[in-house]
Amino acid sequence: MKKLLTLFRQAIAITHTAFPFILVYFAVGETFLEANAQLVWLRTLTVLSPVQVVGANLIRVGSLLLMVAAVAAKIALFPGIYAGIVRLAAGEEMGVRVRDFWQDCRGFWKVTGLAGFSYLAVCMIAGRLFFSGEYQRLAVYAVFEVALFFFLADWMIRKRYGLMPGRGRFPVMALLVIAFVSLANAFLGRFWVLFPGSARVMSQAAILAAGYIHVFGFSLAALAMADRYKDLPRSFDHKKELYLVSPIWMGLLSRFISNFARFYPPAFAVLRALTPPDYHVRDLDYLTWRSGYYRPGKLVAITCFTINSYQAYKVAKEFKKAGSCVVMGGPHVTCNADEALEFCDSVVLGEAESVWAQVISDYEAGSLKKIYEGKPLADFWAVGRQAFGDLPFWMTSFMLETTRGCKYACEFCAIPGLAGSGLRHRPMEDVLAQVLKIKRSGHNPVFTDNNIFGDPVYAKELFRRLAPLKISWSGSCSIDIADDAEALGLAKQSGCDVLLVGYEIVSGSPEAAGKFSYAARYLELSRKLKRAGIKIKAHFILGFDSDDLRYFFKMIRFIFRLNPEYAVISFLTPLPGTRLWKRLLGQSRITNLNWQAYDLGHLVFKHPRLGGFELTVFNLLRHPIHFFGSTLGRWHLFWLLAVLLFFK
């Protein structure tokens, strides 16, 4: 019984971790339910005009297609759900990853689909021939679902990990619990059949509950079968193990979105390339943290920005409590070393390339220093170059940089303090090799430079070298590229599709100096970009001392005239380490030291012209500006309305 309770608790933990799978289950079930509801509604119609008959037939065809789509989605997606749960149960992974999910869908769909069809066929034949009552059929579904769970769990474990059939005792008690769970799942899954007159929301709640129970039941089966393979736990027990951690940020919405759309943190790619090959590296990026993740005897490297530093400190504290060694780095830690050292063993300030080898050496010798100061290396790419090139493309695709640094020194920007003054170039052959690697993967390169036109001479040569590759790429760039006809033409010939332009201000602002000296020509230069066929993602900042409500409306008018692909307005935020932070702190104008508020969506300092009313207006209009003031935003609005109308 004690063993069963342990499995029960572990299955609940896996179910909560695998919550995205429950949402997939719900989406498929809700689609099928919606299609069935439309068909039921059509049966209630009696006298119809010829036009209504045509409309009813179109609805009927659409509903049948939806039902087919739901079945196809189940065949295509459920293998990824089951295999993902097996990964969690076996201890291979600690969280759910979209990349692994799609890989498992492709790898296991044939056998899982065949097993699913066999399950449905047997249930239907047995239900029709031997049982007449609906509740008796539910019992049949439950019995065969138990068999399906154990078969798939055992087969996936053996297939994935190359193990011979397990020889441990068969989990009879777990089988009985899963049988009860499957019965409950069958009841909830057929709720709309058993109670056809029930409220729609009740049927939707039943589908969601069925998804939870379904995932829990398979988790319990996977844990029980994994327990029979005595060699399995040792498969993931590594003497030298590095945990790379990038904590979640931006609250509950980010927790939800991160389960479906994650990119590999660039810092992870750098540390992987710098870490000795005898270390097993485990990525913990944007997970919803649970107590089971904190394990002893690990080297834990945590990177964070200001906005997620609170969560990073919490994670660091728990890892230290569990008996692991914690090293922190990143922009926020670089500027707040003493604060970070209250929660970790050591900090890396600045870039890691120059000190990470020393950190590993000192950790293994048990003599880790409190502070390691990373110096900006002129040949930063030479360190770990071969190892970086050997990483799979999905690890390096968001670390496609050609230069480090920026030619501007904006007061509000953290780059000058982190990357040093001036620009450092990566060898162009390395850049082209990485671009080709990304191209071969079937993806479009995204350059992560702060400004790909930081060095016009280097940029033009890069564009010339990219042109023969026939790719489509995007990146960040300053607007002055449009003032150089040669550079603009070369950029388009090289495959430039989208550029993120930091406009920050609009014409007439007193801030128009330095980077903003082109403000009076923004529309003219932007039209040149568009005529060249390059789409614009525009970023603006509100909160300079001269800004007021009138200026905000002027900014909105400019965005509508610009009509970019995407538009974002952020608050001026004094990030620690910037010259803006030092100036406002010296003027005693910082009003909020809660780092979670430093998300570019809150005004955290005393402003001479923006008060409560102005901030309310801004917060009310910032999202409508995205929806109505940009091309991509209008598409988002269209699809949002379409989905709402369909599921009304």
Instruction: Provide the pLDDT for residue 324.
Output: 96
Rounded-to-integer distance, Cα 62 and Cα 229, Å: 47
Residue 336 confidence (pLDDT) above 90: yes
Q: What is the mean pLDDT of residues 160-170?
A: 69
Output 462 or 263, whichever has higher pLDDT. 462
pLDDT of residue 644: 60
DSSP 381: G
N-terminal to C-terminal alpha carbon distance within the chain: 47
Which pLDDT score, from 0 to 100, does residue 589 have? Answer: 97
Of 108-112, 370-374, 539-543, the poorest mean pLDDT is in 108-112
Residue 234 has pLDDT above 90, yes or no: no
- Spatial neighbors of 387 by CB under 8 A, at least 6 apart, are 272, 273, 274, 277
Give the pLDDT band (50/70/90) at residue 455: very high
If one counts every other C-beta atom within 10 angstroms of the C-beta of residue 5, the result is: 9
Q: Per DSSP, what are the bridge partners of residue 446?
A: 474
Query: Which pLDDT score is estimated for 92?
Result: 83
How many other C-beta atoms can be found within 10 angstroms of the C-beta atom of residue 157?
Answer: 22
Size of the chain, expressed as the number of residues it contains: 648
More confident residue, 432 or 201: 432
Label the pairing between strands 424-425 and 473-477.
unpaired
- The full DSSP string for 393-430 is HHHHTT-B-SEES-S---TT-SHHHHH-SS-EEPPHHH
pTM of the model: 0.82
pLDDT at 646 over 60: no
Cβ atoms of residues 154 and 225 within 8 Å: yes
Q: What is the C-alpha to C-alpha distance for residues 523 and 313, in angstroms, rounded to an integer?
A: 44
Per residue in 58-90, pLDDT (tens digit) is 878 887 888 888 888 888 888 999 999 998 888
Mean of pLDDT values over 394-422: 87
Q: How confident is the model at residue 62, as a pLDDT? A: 80
Q: How far apart are CA 525 and CA 253, in angstroms?
A: 36
Say yes or no to pLDDT of 197 above 70.
no
> Parallel, antiparallel, or unpaired for β 241-246 and 325-329?
unpaired
Q: Is the pLDDT of residue 597 over 80?
A: yes
Q: Measured between alpha carbons, how far is 94 from 87 in angstroms, rounded to an integer?
A: 8
pLDDT of residue 448: 92
Q: What is the mean pLDDT of residues 27-35?
A: 77
pLDDT of residue 604: 96
Q: For 3-26, what is the mean pLDDT?
A: 82
The answer on pLDDT for 257 being more than 70 is no
3-state secondary structure of 50: helix
Task: Indicate the burial class of 59 (C-beta count within 10 angstroms; 0-12, 13-18, 19 or more).
Answer: middle
Task: Return the pLDDT at 318.
Answer: 94
Integer Cα distance of 117 and 112 in angstroms: 9
- Report pLDDT for 23: 82
Top-ranked range on mean pLDDT: pick from 84-98, 282-296, 579-593: 579-593
Q: Three-state DSSP class for 495?
A: coil
The percent of residues above 90 in pLDDT, for the chain, comes to 43
As a whole number of angstroms, the distance between CA 430 and CA 436 comes to: 10
**What are the Cα distances from residue 601, in Å, to 224, 346, 541, 568?**
47, 31, 10, 11
pLDDT band at 138 (very low <50, low <70, confident <90, very high): confident
Q: What is the pLDDT of residues 606-616, one digit of tens each?
A: 999 999 898 99
Point out the least confidently predicted range of 323-337, 402-416, 573-587.
Answer: 402-416
Higher pLDDT, 74 or 486: 486
Rounded distance between C-alpha atoms, residue 272 and residue 583, angstroms:
37
- Predicted confidence at residue 1, as pLDDT, reads 67
Contact 248, 310 (CB under 8 A): no
pLDDT digits (tens, 9 = 90+) for 78-122: 899 999 999 888 888 877 777 788 889 988 888 888 888 787 777
For residue 282, the surrounding DSSP H or E stretch is strand 280-285
The CA distance from 360 to 274, in Å, is: 10
More confident position, 633 or 206: 206
pLDDT value at residue 122:
76
How far is 101 from 81, CA to CA, in rounded Å?
Answer: 7
328 pLDDT above the threshold of 90? yes
Distance CA 392, CA 396 (A): 7
Element (H, E) at 193: helix 191-194
pLDDT at 346: 97
- 454: nearest Cα among 492, 408, 421, 489: 408
pLDDT given at position 51: 73
CB 271 within 8 A of CB 282: no
What is the spatial distance between Cα 334 and Cα 414, in angstroms, rounded to a whole number?
11
Q: Is the pLDDT of residue 168 over 70?
A: no
pLDDT digits (tens, 9 = 90+) for 513-535: 777 889 999 999 999 999 999 99
233 confidence band (pLDDT: 50, 70, 90) = low
- For residues 332 and 595, is the Cβ–Cβ distance under 8 A? yes
Which range has the worst mean pLDDT, 66-70, 293-297, 447-451, 632-636?
A: 632-636
Give the other-Cβ count within 10 Å of 360's Cβ.
20
Token pair belonging to 466: 């990219």
Q: Which of 64, 66, 59, 61 has its CA nearest to residue 28?
A: 66
* pLDDT bracket for residue 35 (50, 70, 90): confident
Give every CB contact of residue 391 below 8 A, 6+ residues apart in sequence: 269, 272, 273
* 585, pLDDT greater than 60: yes
Domains with residue ranges and CATH for the chain = 2-234 (no CATH), 238-373 (3.40.50), 403-646 (3.80.30.20)
pLDDT value of position 166: 58
pLDDT score, position 8 = 78
